[in-house]
Amino acid sequence: MKVFIVGASGLVGSNCMQHFATQGWEVKGSYFSYATEGTVFYNTLEPADPKNYDITTWNPDVIVHCGALTHVDYCETNEEESYQKTVQSTINIIGIANACKARLVYISTDYVFDGKDGPYTESAPLNPLSVYARHKLQGEQLVLKEVAKALVLRVTNIYGNEARGKNFVSRIVQQCKEGQKLTLKLPYDQFASPTNAMDIARAMYVLLRDNKNGIYHIGSTDYMNRVALALRVLQYYPDAQYELIPLSTDELNQAAARPLLGGFVTAKFSKEYPDFLFSNIDDFMKQ
């Protein structure tokens, strides 16, 4: 199996690249603004850029699209940029996937729901609340419509090992290791399913191996708010100095609306893969 990963220097993409390679697949991945070892340049907004790696000539069996503008509040006030980096980039990747006759995997989010009745199954009613969420939903709908046997994985609150350590858990760990005092103003009313990026890679692998398609919700056994998640991490650093300030979403006054009861019911995936064990935040911290 030949797999090309768009956005392989990021959290999900890098874990996919690592896991697929250990399973014996031929893997190549791209970066845009941040190069990591083994990645090649590709600008999804300019497929004709002469610096772009020639994906079509490499002719992958599968393309995994991990790229998007994920800063939710920034998207709210920069709608055109959000469209370009999330929807237009997906349209461009769809064109390449179809030219290669490759399957396409699209990474989506629980933000396609309004958070009034979560956690969610795949068939739950869709109601995105923000610019970011609407564009992510638009992307997944285009992929499912335009690419045969496309696979959409909805994920949320991703953490794990990555080169830049940008994710929420990694930032807390790094600050604790450096002896910094943390000031954490976190919402107590936003719930989701924090998920290790390596579990996403492992789940994607078995789904691709078995030629699955359609939408799957991928989430850990954890279901918690950001306050509980931070405290779970901090318990592994008993000497850490921190101030934890629980706030309501209204008090945070964020530019973009958030789904409050988000996260997933993963019954569809679990029924098909009953022996697949998801890790949790404690497993990650004990590593």
Residue-wise pLDDT for 213-227, tens only, equals 999 999 999 999 999
Is 43 part of any domain? Answer: yes
pLDDT in tens, 70-86: 999 999 999 999 999 99
Token pair for residue 79? 């709608």
Is residue 41 located within the same domain as residue 87?
yes
In this prediction, residue 164 carries a pLDDT of 86
- The answer to whether residue 13 is domain-embedded is yes
- 122 and 243 both lie in a single domain: no
Does residue 258 lie within any of the structural domains? no
Please count the structural domains in the chain. Answer: 2
Whether residues 133 and 245 share a domain: the answer is: no
The answer to whether the CB of 278 falls within 8 A of the CB of 137 is no
| The pLDDT of residue 67 | 85
State whether 245 and 271 are in the same domain: no
Residue 93: predicted pLDDT: 97
Same domain, 184 and 130: no
The reply to whether 60 and 118 lie within a common domain is yes
pLDDT range class, residue 196, cuts 50, 70, 90: very high
118, with CB counted inside 10 A (0-12, 13-18, 19+), is buried
* Confidence band, pLDDT 50/70/90 cuts, at residue 165: confident
Domain containing residue 32: CATH number: 3.40.50.720
In a domain, 285, yes or no: no
- Domain span at residue 233? 168-189+224-252
Whole-number average pLDDT of the chain:
96
More confident residue, 54 or 165: 54
What are φ and ψ of residue 178, in 5° steps?
-85, 0
Do 228 and 216 lie in one domain? The reply is no
d(CA 64, CA 151): 9
The reported pLDDT for the residue numbered 68 is 85
Q: Is the pLDDT of residue 10 over 90?
A: yes
Q: Are residues 121 and 244 in the same domain?
A: no
pLDDT of the residue at 279: 95
Measured between alpha carbons, how far is residue 29 from residues 98, 157, 248, 261 in Å?
A: 18, 23, 39, 34
Q: Give the pLDDT confidence of 13-70 residue by residue, as tens digits.
A: 999 999 999 999 999 999 998 889 899 999 999 999 999 999 999 999 999 999 888 9
pLDDT at 287 over 90: no
pLDDT of residue 188: 97
Q: Does residue 257 lie in a domain region? A: no
Domain shared by 126 and 235, yes or no: no
With contact defined as beta carbons under 8 Å apart, do 12 and 159 qualify? no
Residue 225 is predicted with a pLDDT of: 96
Task: Quote the pLDDT of residue 222.
Answer: 92
Task: Indicate whether 7 and 31 sit together in one domain.
Answer: yes
**Three-class HEC string of 92-113:** HHHHHHHHHCCEEEEEEEHHHC
Instruction: Determine the average pLDDT of the residues in 144-169.
Output: 94
Residue 286 belongs to a domain: no
Question: Is 48 among the domain residues?
Answer: yes
- Domain identity same for 112 and 184: no
Give yes or no for residue 166 having a pLDDT over 90.
Answer: no
- Same domain for 180 and 68? no
